[in-house]
Each structure stands twice: as C-alpha cells, then as structure tokens.
Amino acid sequence: MLLAVMSGFILASIVPFSGKLLRGRWSFMTTALPGALFVYFLTLIPSIANNQVRLFSYQWVPSMGINFDFLVDGLSLLFALMITGIGTLVFLFTSAYMKGDAYLGRFYGYLSLFMGAMLGMVLSDNIFTLFVFWELTSISSFFLIGFNNESKASRKSALVALAITGLGGFFLLAAFALLGNITGTYSIREMIGSADILKAHPSYLLVMVCLFIAAFSKSAQYPLHFWLPGAMKAPTPVSTYLHSATMVKAGIYLLARFTPVLGNVPAWNHTLTIVGGFTMLYAAFHSIFKKDLKEILAYSTISALGMLVFLLGLGTSEALLAMVVYIVVHALYKASLFLITGIIDHETGTRDINKLSGLRKVMMPVSIAGLLAMISNSGIPPTFGFVGKDLIYASTLESEILALSLTTIAVVTNMLLLYAGILTGVKPFTGVLPESFKEVHLPDWRMWLPPLVLGIAGLILGLFPVFIEGGIVMPALHSMYPMAPPFHLMLWHGFNLILGLSAVTILGGLLLYFLFKPGLRHQTWMAKLYGSSPEHIALLFSRKFRVFAAVWTRLFQNGYLRIYVLMIISFLTVLLAYKSFTQVAFYINPAKISPLTSTELVVMFILIATVLYAVYTPSRLAAIAAMGVIGYCICLIYVFYSAPDLAMTQFAIDTLTVILFVLVLYRLPKYINYSSWLIRVRDGLISLIFGTLISILALEVLYEPTNKETTRFFTDNAYTLAKGKNVVNVILVDFRGMDTIVEITVLTIAAMGVFALLKLQLNKYDQEL
C-alpha cells in the first residue's frame, strides 16, 4: 500500500526529466500507473464487500504517534477508485490534448504528484499524515492551476486558490491538534470510540468550526466558493481531474470521514444543511447566466458539491446513501462534460456557447458522450443519475423537519442543473454547423474515448446498479453509518411521489431551457449583484490589505537593518520592562557579588572605552575595529570564568566578522552621515534602557534557585549516549541536533538569497518597475 501511495510521487520525480520521450508517441505510457493502481484497488473490493477493513501501518515518527497508517474501508476505497479510474482517463486524454507541449513532462509531474497526494489523503488513518497529504494537494493544485504561468489570469487564479485552500489547511491543523489533545490519539478509527467524549467536550464547537472552514474552503462552499470558477484558467485535464472527482471532493471526504466522530449533533447537521442548501441553489442559479462552457461547469460543480454537503447535513441513512451514489454520479458525468469542453475548445478555439452549434456533424462520438453525460446530469432514466436523484428526493421527503422546503430546494436546484447540462452537453452539437467550423474534425481517439467511456459507464450503472451496490456503495455507507439498514439500488420503484418529483424536475428544466434565454438585461443585473459577492469583498479586502502592507513596509520593513534592530530592541525593552516591574520582586545583595580583580577592571575599562569609541568615531573601519576589540574583551571574560570553549568560539566569530566587515566596507566611502543627532540620541536612550534592564535581570538571576537536573542529565549521558566528551558540542550536535539543522538551513537559505541578489541582473523593464 505504501508503494501504491508513493508511486505517484516517484513518477512525479521521473517524468519532468523524460524530455522528448513524453512529447512524442510514448506520452500515453504514463497512463499505465493510474491504470495499474485502479486495477489494484479493484482487487480489494471483495474483501471490503465482506465487511473487512484493511489497515496498512508503516512507522514514520513513532515517538510522536505519527505514522503512515493507511486504512482501506468502503469510503476510502470509493475515493481511491475515483482518483485512479478517472485519473487513468485524464492521463490518456492529456497524452493527445497536450501533445508536443514543451513542458509536458512538468505537467505530468504535477499531475502525478497530485494523484499521490489525493491517494495518501483518502487512505490515511492518522490525522497528521492526512494533513500532510491535504496540504500537498493544495500545493500541487497551485502548480496545475497556474501551469500556463505566462498568463497573468492563470497566475492570479492559482494564487487565489492557494490562499483559500491554504487558509483551510491552517484551520484543519488547528482542528486536528484539538482532536488529538482531547482524544489522546491521532487515529481516526480510535477517535470513533471517543465520539461521545468529543461531543460533550467544551471545545467541540471550536473543533467543528475549524473542520468546517477547512472542508468548505476545499469543496468551494459559499462564501469560500469563488476560487473554483477562477481555477478554470487551468488546462482541461486539470479542470477535469481536480474539479470533478478529486480535489473539490476532498472537503466532502473530510466531512464524511468525521461524521461518525463529530456528526449526529444539531449544530453539525443544521450547519451543513444550511450551507450546503444555500450553496447548491446559489451556484445552480448563477450557472444558467454564464456563456463560457467552463464557467457553466464550474458553477454547476459548486452546486453539486453543495448538494453533497446538504445530504451530509441531513445525516439520515437515506441521505448518506444518496450522498454516496451522487458522488459517483457527479464524478462520471462532470468528468465527461469537462473533457468534452476541452475537445470543443481544442478543435474550435472557443468555449462561447453562443458561437457553438452543429458540431455533431463533425464530432459524432463526442456528441454521443455529451448526450449521455447530459441525461445523467439531468437525472433522466435509465442513467445512474436518475437513481441518484430519486435517492435525494427520498431523503428530503423523509426529513424530520422542513421536509417540504428541503424537497422544493432540491427540485429547483436540479431543474437549474438540467438547464446547465443541456447548455454544456447538447447545445454545442445541435443546430447548423457554422462556416467557420467547416474545417473542424474529430480529434485523436485518446481524446474522445474517455468521455464516451464515462457516459457509457453512467448508463450501465443505471441499468445494472447491482454492479456497484454491494462492493462499493454499501461499504462506503457503513463507513459513515454502521447501523444503516439493508437497501437495494433500483432503477424503477413504481409510480410514486418520488417519480412524480423526477418528472416535474425534467419537465421544469426543459421548459426553463426553451422559454428562458438570458440576455443583456440579465447580464447587467447579475453584474450589479457582483458588488456584494464574496469574491468582490475578498478582492476589495486584498487591495486594502496591500495598501496597509505597503505603508507598514515603508515604516518598519524599509530595507534598513538599523530599523529592524531598533524595532526588535524596542519591543523587547517594553516587554522586559513590563514583566520586570509587574511580576519580578527585585532583591540584590551586594555582599554576594564577588569583588573585581585588577585584570577584570582593566578589561572592563577597555570594553567601555571601545564601546564609546565605536559610537562616536567618524570612520567605519575604526568602528569595526573597535567592535572587534569588544568581542576580544568578552573572550577574556570567558577565560577568567573558566569557559575556554566559549572563548575560542567567540574569538573565531569576532575575527571572521571583522574580516568580512572590512572586506565589504573597504570600497565604500569612509563616512556618510545617515542619521541626525536626534535619531542618534533616540537610539542611544533605547540602547541604554535595554542594557540596564538586561543588567538588572542578570543580577536578579543570581538569586534565583537553581535546578541542576538538566545539567546532570547532559553530563551523565553525553558520553554514554552520544559518545562525546565535550558536553556543549554533544548538546548542539546530538541532543539538539534538529535545532542545529534548522539553524543551518536558515543560514543556507539566507546565503542562497544573498547569492541570488549578487547575480541578479535587472533588464530595463524591471528597473522601470
């Protein structure tokens, strides 16, 4: 299992260096990996169908309880099959759609990285490994959305998506930290046993809110939905893979996975029902006013995700069953529609539905795929979409509260989605073929076969839902609702209210399509509403924040090191002064202070003299030399107090510092007055106050009781555990090795930054900016 998850990362590290191999006839070979993974997960269906749960555990940081624990149950298997199955078709589609692209290897690398991150996320049982993979999906999606990095719109969309999903990642980490602290475990399976403790805990609402923000940001729920339409700037394979079956459903997976842990509480259920219900209606309404095929699909995707959140909020066995089925339904028809949109754009050069018509005459297989996807999207029998829609209506009708209102919202939403489905799956292929499209032809089979396969799959599952019932749907439902009663997925339930609602939905959607044609007046009206939209508010906040950041930078981060030091010292001075005079009882006994020796007096005199000289000298080189003398005086103090190792370290650092300063300042003017006398007086007062506080605290520390436990530990174990006799070195290299690595890393990054600045060559355009 570890190899299955990591294979995506392994492929991602190889394909960027494949060069011309991927840009030629062998580009389809990358399809082998997701295809093999899909077959592997198919082999797990029999054991999962028999109510078995497979756990694969690999140690990572066992001392902290963080391991690669991969859990295969019904829910994780459902998502793993979608990730690899649709991934196979997307990889195949990409081999023709982006054939010859100069950066195809890089694109496959990002796509493979994303696939591995998604698999790791849905299979992780440990919350912190789940978080790591969650963040990797955000990072890889940033690269994929911004793949066309020469486009300003692509770069902006990638940054917005990263900002929103990154914000969600922060709240997810907070939720997981609280969960681990409350339950005492990082295993989701073990948390289920502590569900009652969690729900009664005072921090339950905080955990719930943090988890909701994380899920809503990833699954584009109102008001965090606006990044998704912008992400349509990405190439079609990205839109298909991320926004039909994988990334946008990560939040849905998160909510579904934690339903047994945190669900079945009024606050949980009502919040999901309200947010999901509003989102699905809001987005479906917006979808019918869009003219770009990808924009229509984006808003209909947001609506479908709202539907899934809505069903999770209802929380009943029927609603969760409908949610599982609709996940599959949506993945099949939406991936197909995205791929069809990519084909249309690739062959005609436009996605404007007002310019598209008659394409069935030149792309018949694609038009068949579009028709199949549309009828599944619309819930028309005998597709699997019809089964899913019936289950949605059954769950709303059986709701304990507001059943009529919830059913009405679901019906209206499905009418609007039917309208959007006709726009994207049927309209481009009906009517007369324009003269400008006479040269359009059927693309490579690797492009039209994947959407056709998805459309046929939706039809077959509708006719024979038993194929997916026992092996996938039932185990997935039991993962969220272990006490769910037995059920059977059927295409025909007889003449009843649910069938009547389906008929109303289909007739209402068709009437809406034929009678309502959005015009300029409607576009103007929608533009006025944009002023109060979350996207407009977020962008306005972003602009205001940039203005604030510019002012703040000019004041405090203006490039002058002396300002940075002044801010740090001033803050520490205020903090120390506050703590010292409010929480410290000063007591200094002069009798306990050892008298100064003649050598110490000489060193102190030299130290004070060189400090004053460094402050008042008009020469930089003289000031640097004085600073070196100050350092050597401190070395002597270390020697006097039996710390020769510290003295040698101080000596080496001061010597190197003086040499580097001299080399840097040698070619600069001998003296330039950068500050007025008022600024120098200010700096002197702050320095004097800070130094006085440090001196007082140092004297006060002498009278604090000492605890030698840490000292004894290092002394006793330095040689036995780390095989070193120099205790200080052993502490730095072994006991605090991670701290030392971080310090070295920081210095290395700083050195790389300096090197890059030294090598920077600005062209005329950059200099004007």
Q: Give how far the C-alpha of residue 193 lies from the chain's centroid of Cα atoms, to the nearest Å.
A: 29
Residue 322 has pLDDT above 70, yes or no: yes
For residue 278, the model assigns a pLDDT of: 94
Return the pLDDT at 421: 93
Distance CA 753, CA 601 (A): 43
Strands (E), 251-308: none
φ and ψ at residue 187, rounded to 5 degrees: -90, 130
Residue 324 has pLDDT above 50, yes or no: yes
Chain segment 277-305, per-residue pLDDT in tens = 999 999 999 999 889 899 999 999 999 99
Residue 496 reports pLDDT greater than 80? yes
- pTM of structure: 0.80
Q: Which has more pLDDT, 608 or 709? A: 608
pLDDT tens-digit map of 640-675? 888 887 888 888 888 888 888 887 777 666 656 666
pLDDT at 222 over 60: yes
- Judge whether residue 531 has pLDDT over 80: no
Report percent pLDDT > 70 for the chain.
Answer: 95
Q: Is 173 exposed, middle or buried (0-12, 13-18, 19+ CB in 10 A)?
A: middle
- Domain boundaries in the chain? 292-518
Token pair of 631, please? Answer: 């350092």
**pLDDT tens per residue, range 417-473:** 999 999 999 999 998 888 888 888 888 888 999 999 999 999 999 999 988 988 899
φ, ψ for residue 518 (rounded to 5)? -60, 135
Inter-CA distances, 460 with 141, 301, 383, 463, 642, Å: 32, 23, 7, 5, 84
Residue 173: which pLDDT band, with cuts at 50, 70 and 90? Answer: very high
pLDDT at 559: 75
pLDDT at 668: 67
Confidence of residue 57 (pLDDT cuts 50, 70, 90): confident
* pLDDT of 369 higher than 90: yes
Fill in the amino acid letter for 641. Y
Instruction: Return the pLDDT at 669.
Output: 64
What does the pLDDT read at residue 740? 82
Model confidence at 765, pLDDT cuts 50, 70, 90, reads: very low
pLDDT at 763 over 90: no
Mean pLDDT score, 320-338: 94
Distance of alpha carbon 391 from alpha carbon 477, whole angstroms: 13
Is the pLDDT reported for residue 581 higher than 80?
Answer: no
For residues 40 and 761, which has the higher predicted lDDT (pLDDT)?
40
Does position 768 have pLDDT exceeding 50, yes or no?
Answer: no
Q: What pLDDT, on the 0 to 100 scale, is given for residue 383?
A: 92
**Per-residue model confidence (pLDDT) at position 458:** 93
pLDDT of 767:
47
Would you say residue 487 has pLDDT above 90? no
pLDDT at 587: 67
Q: What is the pLDDT of residue 516?
A: 86
User: Is the model's pLDDT at 344 over the cut of 90?
Assistant: yes
CA distance 621 to 2: 60
Structure tokens at 690: 């800070």
Instruction: Please give the mean pLDDT across all residues of the chain.
Output: 87
pLDDT, one tens digit per residue, over 734-752 is 877 788 888 889 889 988 8
220 dihedral zone (left: phi>0; alpha: psi -120 to 50; beta):
left
Q: What is the pLDDT of residues 693-720, one digit of tens each?
A: 888 777 777 776 777 777 888 888 888 8
The mean pLDDT value for 148-170 works out to: 90
> Cα(200)–Cα(651) distance, rounded to whole angstroms?
60
Q: Which range is least confidently modeled, 13-17, 108-112, 249-253, 279-283? A: 13-17
The confidence score (pLDDT) of residue 105 equals 84
pLDDT at residue 319, as a whole number: 93
Report the pLDDT averaged over residues 408-424.
94
